[in-house]
Amino acid sequence: MFEKVLLPTDFSTYANRTVECIGQIPSVREVILLHVLDASRSSAKIWLSGRTLESLDEHARLLLQEQKEYLESLGLTVKVVLEAAASGDIRKVILRTADTEQVPLIAMGARGKGIITGFLLGSVSAGVLRFSKTNVLITQYKSAEPMTPEESEKYCRRIFSKVLCPVDFSRPSKDMLMFVKDLNRVSEVILVHVVKSAETKEDLERAVRAAESGLREMKGILENELLTVKTFVRFGSPSIAISDLAEEEDVSLIMMPRFGERDYFRDIPIGSTTVDVAKIARRPLFVRYPRLDMVVDVRELAPEEFPLAEELWLGYHQQKADLQSDRIFGVFLENHPVSVARCKRHPDGLEVDGVFTPEEFRGRGFARKAVEALIAGCGNETLYMHSTLELVSFYETFGFKKIRERDMPRSIRSRFGFALGEMKGANVQPMKRAPE
């Protein structure tokens, strides 16, 4: 599962704790021990124990050798990587090394050297967590003070024993549960769903019933004779509720998917709740990177689904659908509408308009899929449209051709009567597509 682990270290207390605990990660066999030097300071001299070392580079090599020997004493294979960051961006070097070595896990301390006291991620740890394309374990502890024997047992030797799993019943949540089920060191799982808000008492009761039902289903998936499962429904800020429950239940680890219900199909690096938990939690945090093939569905909307198109059109002139004249075609990503196109019947012809994809979903070909569906449904008749000038070449790939304004049907042409024949001035090009 985690045969190879990347372990970045800056030799701080938090990094050293991660080194001490690395042998407790399930199935680990090989460690890539990485230290990143600031290229501008790598030749600087350092005074240590009454003698001058030649450089920070040499000092780092000595410390890396000590940690390598410790890890090898645990029976692990260790590869040492010492690299200078020309730009001073340590995060980039860590992420590049993770990609080059194809590691399934990056394990690192929450804070590095020079970070002020407080429960905040260090900038390097935060950057790795935000942009990593693999699983990340942040070994966050209550303080930088040496651990008591009890703390060492819980946070190091038994880090995967009692795990808190926040769930929102999305595919990433379910993927995480199957992942937990395969871990052979987990003896207890705490499942929690946080209800963020409710308009009325009835809404709250409905949300609680739905959460309890979902939690029962997930508990049934996990529970067996070797694994105890407890469930909770909490209210309010998800990150605060999760962090508070972690303390109340005294868990050894918080495990979360990188993306939440409305996050993982968007073009964002990480969900906001996961980031906030990483900032305030005082327990180690494992962030699961889900490798899911997202389901894309392209279809014509039923009349009762027209409000879905209108919701997207809030960002596009706030258009409204007409049950009598419109056929609307949509692209759905994980059942969430991400692009629409409309075929509107006028008294003297069909007009294509309302082709819209919200900015966060652009660049993935969804608009093309929506127009393809529209043409498949309406293209047996002549289609007219007013294209913006920058999209003329896009519509030409579907067989649309430029025409003069006067060649459009009157009822369709009249929509742009305000331009007084100056289509270019209105950033518009009339177009026509004849049936094949």
Which tens digits make up the pLDDT trace of 288-318? 987 767 789 999 999 999 999 999 998 787 8
Question: Where on the phi/psi map is residue 50: left (φ > 0), alpha (ψ -120 to 50), or beta?
Answer: left
Q: What is the pLDDT of residue 119?
A: 36
Residue 422 lies in a domain: yes
Q: Name the residue among 95, 87, 102, 170 with its Cα closest to residue 127.
A: 95
Q: What is the pLDDT of residue 115?
A: 36
Q: How far apart are CA 308 and CA 431, in angstroms?
A: 27
The first and second tokens of residue 179, run together, are 């992942």
Crossing angle of helices 56-73 and 13-21, rounded to 10°: 30
Domain with residue 170: its CATH number is 3.40.50.620
Structural domains in the chain (count): 3
Regarding whether 128 and 165 lie in a shared domain, the answer is no
Residue 146 lies in a domain: no
Regarding whether 429 and 374 lie in a shared domain, the answer is yes
Q: What is the pTM of this model?
A: 0.73
Q: What is the pLDDT of residue 157?
A: 65
Regarding whether 312 and 416 lie in a shared domain, the answer is yes
Three state DSSP letters for the chain = CCCEEEEECCCCHHHHHHHHHHHHCCCCCEEEEEEEEECCCCCCCEEECCEEECCHHHHHHHHHHHHHHHHHHCCCEEEEEEEEECCCCHHHHHHHHHHHHCCCEEEEECCCCCCCCCCCCCHHHHHHHHHCCCEEEEECCCCCCCCCHHHHHHHHHCCCCEEEEECCCCHHHHHHHHHHHHCCCCCEEEEEEEECCCCCHHHHHHHHHHHHHHHHHHHHHHCECCEEEEEEEEECCHHHHHHHHHHHCCCCEEEEECCCCCCCCCCCCCCHHHHHHHHHCCCCEEEECCCCCCCEEEEECCHHHHHHHHHHHHHCCCCCCCCCCEEEEEEEECCEEEEEEEEEEECCEEEEEEEECCHHHCCCCHHHHHHHHHHHHHCCCCEEEEEEHHHHHHHHCCCCEECCHHHCCHHHHHHHHHHCCCCHHHCEEEEEECCC
* Cβ count near 85 (within 10 Å): 17
pLDDT in tens, 58-88: 888 889 999 999 999 999 999 999 988 776 6
Q: Name the residue among 167, 177, 84, 89 with its Cα closest to residue 128.
A: 89
Handedness of CA 72, 77, 83, 85 (dihedral sign): negative
Residue 122 lies in a domain: yes
Q: What is the pLDDT of residue 436?
A: 82
Which of residues 105, 138, 171 is at a domain's end?
Answer: 138
Regarding whether 329 and 251 lie in a shared domain, the answer is no
Regarding whether 25 and 91 lie in a shared domain, the answer is yes
Regarding whether 304 and 278 lie in a shared domain, the answer is no
Residue 151 lies in a domain: no
Regarding whether 20 and 116 lie in a shared domain, the answer is yes
Buried b (16+ CB within 10 A) or exposed e, 300-339: ebeeeebebbeebbeeeeebebeeeebbbbbbbbbeebbb
Regarding whether 16 and 53 lie in a shared domain, the answer is yes
Regarding whether 125 and 6 lie in a shared domain, the answer is yes
Regarding whether 330 and 286 lie in a shared domain, the answer is no
Domain with residue 388: its CATH number is 3.40.630.30
End-to-end CA distance of the chain: 54
Query: How far is CA 74 from each of CA 2, 57, 65, 254, 310, rounded to the nearest angstrom?
Result: 16, 26, 15, 25, 60
Regions of the chain short of the pLDDT cut 50: 46, 113-120, 418-421
Which of residues 292, 307, 339 is at a domain's end?
Answer: 292
Residue 142: partners with Cβ closer than 8 Å, 6 or more residues away: 151, 282
Question: Using an 8 Å Cβ cutoff, are 193 and 211 in contact?
Answer: yes
Q: How far apart are CA 115 and CA 417, in angstroms?
A: 63
Residue 212 lies in a domain: yes
* Cβ count near 184 (within 10 Å): 10
Q: What is the pLDDT of residue 88?
A: 67
* Cβ count near 277 (within 10 Å): 26
Residue 149 lies in a domain: no
What phi and psi values does residue 135 have, to the nearest 5 degrees?
-65, 150
Regarding whether 279 and 302 lie in a shared domain, the answer is no
Regarding whether 356 and 301 lie in a shared domain, the answer is yes
Q: How far apart are CA 365 and CA 357, in angstroms?
A: 10
Range of the domain at 16: 1-138
Q: How far apart are CA 383 and CA 376, in angstroms?
A: 12
Q: What is the pLDDT of residue 360?
A: 83
Q: What is the pLDDT of residue 102?
A: 94
Residue 154 lies in a domain: no
Which of residues 244, 275, 292 is at a domain's end?
Answer: 292
Q: What is the pLDDT of residue 139?
A: 84
Residue 178 lies in a domain: yes
Residue 382: partners with Cβ closer than 8 Å, 6 or more residues away: 349, 350, 432, 433, 434, 435
